[in-house]
Amino acid sequence: MIRQRTASLSVLARRAAGPLVSLLLVAMAAGACAPKVAEAPPGSQAPVAGEPGSFPTFPTLPLPPLPGLAAESLGKARVALLLPLSGHSAELGKAMLRAAELALFEAPSNRLLLLVHDTGDAPESAAAAAEAAIAQGASFILGPLFAPQVAAAALPARTMGANMVSFSTDLSVAGQGVWVMGILPRLQVERVVGYAASHGRTRVAALAPATAYGDAVVDALGAATTRYGIATAAIQRYQPDETNLNPVVEGLGTDFDAVLLPEGGVRAQLLAPLLAYHEIDPTVVKLLGTALWDDPALGQEPTLVGGWFAAPAPERWRAFRERYLALYGQAPPRIASIAYDATSLAAALAEGFEPGRFGALALTQPNGFSGIDGIFRFMPDGSVERGLAVLEVGTDSARVIDPAPAGFATMGF
């Protein structure tokens, strides 16, 4: 039995700048793959109204009945969840759905109805999913996951005035009622480069894939070095399927004291030792990474040990992972926390009064929110700001060497 522990929330629709809202909640979940009100699994503990620290309750406006929705859903805020539940990314989509369900049952009140729709692989199916959810009364959309689907689903969403918090990290789809909630490469690069600059690193080189992600990293590096008054020393790009990376690494030269490797997994483990082979000493030149380095397996490569990277602080993720593993019998993918936090956010906003509980004013309140991945807040242009930690790669696991900020005031924003 998992006991529920929550922090009190203010009604976000009442004011633009409320207290930092905690979305770190604890309880149970069950599976569902169609629009419905999910039921808690046997043995779970339902929220107890009036317990210390529980959400305050507020009346909601009655909603008209719609075909296909159970009577118990009346009066609840209808929020769409668009995920790839079929096609190439079905397993990832199903894992994110489980995380969303976990968040739904960990919310201390029951004012949210999730309307789950499958986006499949195609942008057209994502647009159809958004249209179907809006026809069922959804006034707010969570997802989709990939940028092409987000762009397609945004068309009916904007037409019908439904705001969307997508799970993408592609800023090209943001704006005009669409926000991206993914952990943006720009934020990761800015955080780790800023930390490196504060520790005496003045010339940063980069090895980046010739992809849209690599483009975002390179742009972010240029902005970060300018912001912190240091230099971008050299940049080498390579094709994502390139096998001989020796010429790429050799092309960096040696006139730098830090090098950014924005790759994870096997690719990072291949690139790092090549630096040493080309006389780039990792005990002198600091290796820098992104959240893709949040992988214990990287510690098996000695060259990477001691490298720095920016990512969400790990404590809440580890607790979430344990709960998810206990319920579903398998570990969640790292991105599952985004679905959890988005659903918890929707549950918090559902406590507000219509109209405006899912409006831009509520979403962009300056003090932001706090979830599994730390503090975050949405900006008027559709981007997201986050408070990230800096971690150091170890042989067994990474350790935090600069904690994530507790609030945006401490970040200078």
CA distance 401 to 105: 34
Token pair listed for 374: 């730390």
- For the chain, the structural domain boundaries read 12-182+315-382, 185-311+391-411
Highest mean pLDDT among 40-54, 67-81, 241-255, 398-412: 241-255
DSSP state of 73: G
pLDDT band at 270 (very low <50, low <70, confident <90, very high): very high
Class of domain 185-311+391-411: alpha beta
Residues 24, 371 contacting (CB under 8 angstroms): yes
CA distance 167 to 187: 15
Tell me the pTM.
0.82
Q: What is the pLDDT of residue 46?
A: 29
Mean confidence (pLDDT) of the chain: 84
Per residue, the 3-state secondary structure of 292-328, as one string, reads: HHCCHHHHHCCCCCCCEEEECCHHHHHHHHHHHHHHH
* pLDDT beyond 90 at 105: no
Q: What is the pLDDT of residue 412?
A: 55
CA distance 81 to 143: 6
The phi and psi torsions of 162 (rounded to 5 degrees) equal -100, 120
pLDDT band at 108 (very low <50, low <70, confident <90, very high): confident
Same topology, domains 12-182+315-382 and 185-311+391-411? Answer is yes
Q: What is the pLDDT of residue 355?
A: 73
pLDDT tens for 364-406 read 999 999 999 999 999 999 999 999 999 999 999 999 999 999 9
* pLDDT beyond 60 at 50: no
Percent of the chain with pLDDT over 90: 77
Task: Specify the long-range contacts of residues 130-135, CB closer than 8 Å, at least 24 apart.
Answer: 130/80, 130/82, 130/154, 130/156, 130/157, 130/162, 131/156, 133/35, 133/80, 133/82, 134/80, 134/160, 134/162
* pLDDT beyond 80 at 31: no
* pLDDT beyond 50 at 114: yes
* pLDDT beyond 50 at 411: yes
* pLDDT beyond 80 at 191: yes
pLDDT band at 58 (very low <50, low <70, confident <90, very high): very low
Class of domain 12-182+315-382: alpha beta
Task: Give me the DSSP letters along 93-132.
Answer: HHHHHHHHHHHHHHSSS--EEEEEEE--SSHHHHHHHHHH
Token pair listed for 192: 């780790």
Percent of the chain with pLDDT over 70: 81
- Return the H-helix or E-strand segment holding 376: strand 374-378
Rg (CA), the chain: 22
- Return the H-helix or E-strand segment holding 179: strand 178-180
pLDDT band at 278 (very low <50, low <70, confident <90, very high): very high
Residues 136, 115 contacting (CB under 8 angstroms): yes
Q: What is the pLDDT of residue 376?
A: 97
